[in-house]
Structure 1
Amino acid sequence: MEGLFFNVDSGYIEGIVRGYRNSLLTSQNYNNLTQCETLDDLKLQLAPSYGDVLNNVPSPLKTSTIATLATSKLHSEFLYLRSVATGTLRTFMDYLQHGYMIDNVALLITGTLHELDTSKLISRCHPLGLFEGLSVLCVATNVDELYNTILVETPLKTYFKGLTNKDLDELNIEIIRNTLYKNYLEHFAEFCRTAEGIAGSPCQEIMEQILNFEADRRAINITLNSFGTELSKDERKKLYPAMGKLYPVGTYQLGNAESNEAAIAGASTVSEYADFFKQATMMGQQKSLEDLFYKKEMEIMKEVFTQQFTYAVVYAWLKLKEQEIRNITWIAECIAQNQKDRIGNYISIF
């Protein structure tokens, strides 16, 4: 019966998303990509999946062009889904865009701080996070101006709770971004607990797992990146989402950590994160911890597709597609720079 009512409003969209998922690159596709000698060869291999956006691009190709056009395809597919979504699913998809909006705001005000050209900054923004008046943010010099200039008219206004009037220097921009994201995750989790069609359904359980993982990842990264900066312990603690497997015991230890070792001990209160740090130590590679988080995220997203009648497949497809674009960009950059020995260091999806 639950599936019957779900399909009335959202069955079509779920079917489309599962079709999108089936069109993602396979292991054999990736193997073919890694054998390419030039970006034009790569373009030919990508033709079945990305030919509609790449076929008319003249040589010589650039990695940035491939990444931009692949992202534009993702954007178009998402907008199509949103155009036919109704009710709770439409609001759910709005929440998916809020994270990109936050990243775009941080990108723009950081670039402005470094006196970069506004038009170039806008071109680097993720299309899913674009909103009217984004370019006006370049005139803001503190939090009050940032809020009152334009953000008060956007969905991000809800996430400004807890922000005081700080000047927009590099440290404060990171505090703003992480505070916005903390509030965003907490609001999104609350929406999934209470929204009609999600509350009490398998979708709520799935989204709780996804958002808790994201909250933990952000808490760990905030802690590790705070050492050697002027960020105080009290300020750091305010940036942790009040959710996740680490909350509250692990985040308490992270908040009081004064070294990488202490941070690792705090994160290791959850066994799977303890395994991450052990693997990262054994791998001994730069950004290996970040790679392990991405790998775990892909495992969670693939698992979502074993469920039916859930909005979470839209979120999972979006994250799988993003990782595919990162993989293509990595392979393309290795080809462009003739770094074939590193070309296999992408995050496997299937």
Structure 2
Amino acid sequence: MEAVLFNVESGYAEALCRGLSSSLIKSAQYSNMTQCDTLEDLKLQLGATDYAQSLANVASPISTSDFQNRLFAKLVADFRYLQTTAVEPLSKFLEYITYGYMIDNVVLMVSGTLHHRNKEELLERAHPLGWFDTLPALSVTTDIESLYDVVLVDTPLAPYFKECFTVAQISDLQIEIIRNKLYRAYLEDFAQFCKTLPGSTYESMIKMLGFEADCRTINIAVNSNGTGLSRADREALMPRLGALYPVISSQLARSEDPEQVRAVVEQCAVPEFTDCFDSSNGQTLEDHFYAEGIVLCREALTQQFSYATFYAWLKAAEQEVRNVTWIAECIAQNQRERISGYVSLF
């Protein structure tokens, strides 16, 4: 019965999402792209994918930014179209996905204002999926209270700001504290919302949200060393979900330098992270996170009657944009030895 009701409410939207997922670039296509000698050749290769129309009217000579911008614009348009076909509770689920981009936009605007960046340039860099009407007003805020009262009180982010009022004033360090507190509240709230959803949504989403929480926990542990933050301060930034919570995250909060962080992670019993600091193959920590995240997306896309497929498709499509941009950059800079550093879904 649950499956029947799922299809009545969200069957069409899920079919669209499945279609978008099946059209993602395959490993064989990536292999062909890595053989291209010029960016024009890469454009021709992409003509055999769903990006053909997006790149059709790009004038020569084509640049790396053209690939990134056109592919990203298609991703945003596809997600917006999915939103137009969604009804409750799927529409709310898709809205929750955009909250993370809202947080990134808030941090971008506040940080840019702190460093006297041009307001129009900052707005151009803001993620379209995280746009809200009062975003431009962030450029006039000077403290946390005005940031909340003037700009964010009427946005979905308002409930997440209750832990941010302990920040005395805005500085580079405090901006990162705000970012991590907002993400912690957001991920925990999103996980709670997923419990109310039908089908296998929660089972898949708790894995993906938990993985994102774990990645943030490790990054906080690495980047907070030398900042003067106490163990309690660092632990307060780490999300309370994921495979590392609560035992490993508590150990990471006590780590006093990056080597201790590495030792704790390598000795933990979470296979996704035991070799994440291994850079022998040229991978960075973020590269490892991307690769492991795609594994979870691949698993989620095999589920039936699950809203997690929408989240997995979006994350996979974002990785696809990064992949093509990476290949284009390697071609443009003649870095052939690094051109295979992409992460394929299929």
The equivalent of 2:228 in structure 1 is 230
The structure where helix makes up a greater share of residues is: 1
Q: TM-score, with normalisation over the residues of structure 2? A: 0.95
Cα distance in 1, alignment partners of residues 114 and 39 from structure 2: 35
Q: CA deviation at 1:273?
A: 4.4
Query: Where does 1:15-26 land on structure 2 (aligned, <5 Å)?
Result: 15-26=15-26
Shift of 1:255: 1.0
Partner of 1:13: 13
How many residues get paired? 343
1:346 Cα offset (Å): 1.2
SS of residue paired to 2:291: helix
Work out whether 1:304 is the aligned partner of 2:300: yes
Hey, what's the Cα distance between the residues in 1 that align with 2:272 and 2:256?
Answer: 19
1:177 counterpart residue number: 179
- 1:242-261 aligned within 5 A: 242-261=240-259
Gaps of 5+ in 2: none
The one of 271, 278, 282 aligned to 1:281:
278
Corresponding residue number in structure 2 for 1:348: 344
SS in 2 for 1:285: coil
- Determine the structure 2 residue equivalent to 1:139: 140
User: SS of 2:341's equivalent?
Assistant: coil
* SS of match in other structure, 1:161: helix
Query: Helix, strand or coil: the match of 1:150?
Result: helix
Match of 1:245, as an amino acid? Answer: A
Q: Tell me, in whole angstroms, the C-alpha distance in 2 between the residues paired with 1:296 and 1:281.
A: 14
- What SS is found at the alignment partner of 1:136? helix
- Contact conserved, 2:38 with 2:331, CA < 8 A, in 1? yes
Deviation track 1:137-185 (CA, whole Å, cap 9, x = no partner) reads: 0111111111112111111111112112432211111111111000000
Q: Which stretch shows the higher mean deviation, 240-249 or 312-321?
A: 240-249
TM-score, normalised to structure 1's length? 0.94
Report the 3-state secondary structure (helix = DSSP H, G, I; strand = E; otherwise coil) of the residue aligned with 1:349.
coil
Q: Does 1:322 pair with 2:318? A: yes
Q: For 1:283, what is the secondary structure of its paired residue? A: coil
- The 5-angstrom pairing of residues 80-229 of structure 1 reads 80-164=81-165, 165-193=167-195, 195=196, 197-198=197-198, 201-229=199-227
1:99-149 deviations in Å (ceiling 9; x for gaps):
011111111211222211111111112111111121110111111111112
In 2: Cα distance, 1:226 partner to 1:285 partner: 24
Q: Work out the percentage of aligned pairs sharing the same amino acid.
A: 47
Deviation readout 1:8-55 (Å, 9 max, x if unpaired): 010111111110011100111111211112222211111232122211
1:53: which partner in 2? 54
Paired AA for residue 141 in structure 2: A
Q: CA deviation at 1:230?
A: 3.4
- Inter-partner Cα distance in structure 1 for 2:168 and 2:324: 39
Rounded to whole Å, the distance in 2 between the matches of 1:211 and 1:218 is 11
Q: Which amino acid aligns with 2:278?
A: T
Note if contact 1:245-1:270 (Cα within 8 Å) is conserved in structure 2.
Answer: no
Moved over 4 A (4+): none
Task: For residues 69-102 of structure 1, give each alpha carbon's deviation from its aligned partner in whole angstroms, at most 9, with x where no partner exists.
Answer: 2111111111111111001100000000000111
RMSD: 1.5
Q: CA deviation at 1:231?
A: 3.1
Give the aligned residue type for 1:285: G
Mark the runs of 5 or more structure 1 residues left unpaired by the alignment.
Answer: none
User: Does the alignment pair 1:67 with 2:68?
Assistant: yes
Residue 44 (structure 1) aligns with: 44
In structure 2, distance between residues paired with 1:146 and 1:310: 36
